[in-house]
Amino acid sequence: MYLTCLIVLILAFSQIYSKKSSMHLKEKSKSNKADSPANQIYKTENSLGHSVKRDSILTKFPMKVKSCDQIAIFQAKYITDFADYRSRADGWYTVSAYSINLYKDKDANKLIHSVMISNLKTKPQHLKGAKGCISVDGGNISADITVCFDSKNTADNLLNVINSFYKCRRGDNLQPIPKKLVRQLLQLCGKNGKALYNKDKKDFIMNSKGRAGNKWDADRMRYYHPLPITVPGTG
């Protein structure tokens, strides 16, 4: 009797699981259709596609990048005709340490242009003649991308975001240097363990003299100007 009841329960759970799995597969198949929007944003998924415990998506201005794997996702306008800066359309953007992408809608399937940061010949900058707009050089591979806001301050903030990602590409982790480590560095930079640091004036005291027999100092002293460079004859 006990064995019969156990078998019935196992079969019942099996049928329930089978129905749930079938429904999940149907929903997944439906969402994977070519015409279905790919507009789901996972806030805990970083620019590398890894799942993280913190929020990696920046969506509201002003933005501040605190981690190199963050992604900025926002809506703005782009210029549709470079012969007429007034011709603009709504677009969606993603900005990370790796790329800047422009989409026609909040849908990953509707990509217009994509520029890899490594392919940029010049850093993104304000577009002259179009206040509040930023120009992103597409290089030889992609067309240029424009980002336009109603406020120049918002454009400035986006440039700061892009500059932060540039720091990331140079190896900066965007984290402040601990004060204890700063004090240790000051000691290491000092002479005989004594920091060359004036606590009252809050500035560094530079020792510009070359060390005897040091080839690096000898080369430095060949080009070193101990005094400010002035125009000849001005005293």
The predicted-structure confidence for 98-130, as pLDDT tens digits, reads as follows: 999 999 999 989 999 999 998 888 999 999 999
Burial 15-24, CB ≥16 within 10 A → b, else e: eeeeeeeeee
57-169 topology per CATH: PH-domain like (2.30.29)
What pLDDT sits at residue 200? Answer: 57
Whether 152 and 132 have beta carbons less than 8 Å apart is answered as: yes
Question: Using only C-alpha atoms, what is the Rg of the chain?
Answer: 29
pTM tops 0.85, yes or no: no
Query: Across the chain, where does the E strand assignment appear?
Result: 57-58, 71-79, 88-95, 99-103, 111-116, 125-126, 133-136, 145-148, 197-198, 203-204
The answer, yes or no, to whether residue 15 has pLDDT greater than 80, is: no
Range(s) of the chain covered by CATH 2.30.29.30: 57-169
- Amino acid 5: pLDDT: 47
Extended beta strands in 51-183, E state: 57-58, 71-79, 88-95, 99-103, 111-116, 125-126, 133-136, 145-148
Residues 140-167, mean pLDDT to the nearest whole number? 94
Which DSSP category does 94 fall into?
E
